[in-house]
């Protein structure tokens, strides 16, 4: 038995792909997961499962999601240990408290190829600060997220993987929720 986090990509953003969190909770329960809780309206679900393979969990959840809601979305799964590591690997902990909402952890579907990462980082010229560790991209937006040209679509195209971002306030709360 393990504790996991489902991170859904591109649901309930900008009025598109609307899915109620109660429906996501039910989806997880129908799949046999226990202690299911959701956080915010952006597709964050903490749950316990006998199945411990994150790739299999992601596939099962994505398939059931498509069956229920009629469209496919990517699901990133993180274990309790992985989220704890994500939390501790954040190189931007020293930013002023008021700016934690400008720190984003982008949870990637896979660790990007090292040459792709090197090319992306060496060619990047924005004001944002970037750090990649495994399947996570950490971004600090010193001028705010809304003013940035560094979007999810740009990142996915450059790194050749899919991902979904959560601001640091959300990551902190999810890490707390997984400590059960």
Same domain, yes or no: 174 and 98 = yes
CATH number at residue 51: 3.30.70.1280
* pLDDT of res. 96: 66
Measured in whole angstroms, how far is the alpha carbon of residue 3 from the centre of its chain?
16
Which of 81, 102, 131 represents a domain boundary (last residue)? 81
Same domain, yes or no: 43 and 107 = no
- Find tokens 């996915």 and name the residue: 156
pLDDT at 14 over 70: no
Range of the domain at 172: 89-178
Q: What does residue 85 show for φ and ψ, rounded to 5 degrees?
A: -65, -40
Same domain, yes or no: 72 and 103 = no
* pTM of the model as a whole: 0.92
- In angstroms, rounded to a whole number, what is the distance separating the alpha carbons of residues 66 and 153? 21
CATH number at residue 129: 3.30.70
Same domain, yes or no: 40 and 103 = no
Nearest to 105 by CA among 83, 125, 123, 120: 83
* pLDDT of res. 98: 54
Which of 51, 81, 111 represents a domain boundary (last residue)? 81
Token pair listed for 52: 């411990």
* pLDDT of res. 110: 96
- Find tokens 């060619």 and name the residue: 123
pLDDT at 42 over 70: yes
Measured in whole angstroms, how far is the alpha carbon of residue 91 from the centre of its chain?
17
Q: How many domains does the chain have?
A: 2
pLDDT at 13 over 60: no
pLDDT band at 32 (very low <50, low <70, confident <90, very high): very high
The CB density around residue 129, as the number of other CB atoms within 10 Å, is: 15
Same domain, yes or no: 62 and 94 = no
SS3 of residue 108 by DSSP: strand
Same domain, yes or no: 77 and 93 = no
Which of 56, 81, 106 represents a domain boundary (last residue)? 81
Which residues fall within 8 angstroms of residue 70, CB to CB, at 6 or more apart? none
Same domain, yes or no: 94 and 66 = no
Average pLDDT over residues 35-50: 94
Going by the DSSP 8-state scheme, the letter that residue 172 receives in this structure is H
Same domain, yes or no: 22 and 65 = yes
Same domain, yes or no: 46 and 66 = yes
Average pLDDT over residues 152-180: 94
- In angstroms, rounded to a whole number, what is the distance separating the alpha carbons of residues 47 and 33? 6
- Find tokens 């959840």 and name the residue: 61
pLDDT band at 40 (very low <50, low <70, confident <90, very high): confident
Q: Are 77 and 57 in contact (CB under 8 A)?
A: yes
Same domain, yes or no: 11 and 67 = yes
Average pLDDT over residues 69-96: 91
């Amino acid at each position: 038995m393990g504790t996991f986090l489902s991170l859904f990509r591109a649901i309930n953003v900008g009025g598109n792909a609307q899915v109620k969190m109660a429906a996501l909770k039910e989806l997880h329960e129908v799949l046999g997961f226990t202690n299911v809780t959701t956080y915010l309206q952006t597709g964050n679900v903490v749950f316990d499962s006998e199945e411990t393979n994150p790739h299999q969990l992601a596939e099962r959840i994505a398939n059931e999601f498509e069956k229920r809601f009629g469209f496919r979305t990517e699901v990133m799964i993180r274990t309790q240990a992985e989220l704890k590591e994500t939390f501790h690997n954040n190189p931007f902990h020293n930013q002023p408290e008021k700016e934690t909402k400008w720190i984003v952890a982008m949870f990637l579907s896979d660790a990007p190829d090292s040459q792709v990462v090197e090319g992306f980082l060496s060619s990047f010229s924005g004001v944002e600060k970037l750090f990649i560790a495994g399947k996570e991209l950490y971004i600090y937006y010193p001028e705010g997220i809304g003013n940035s040209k560094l979007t999810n679509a740009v990142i996915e195209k450059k790194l050749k993987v899919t991902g979904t971002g959560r601001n640091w306030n959300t990551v902190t709360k999810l890490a707390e929720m997984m400590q059960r």
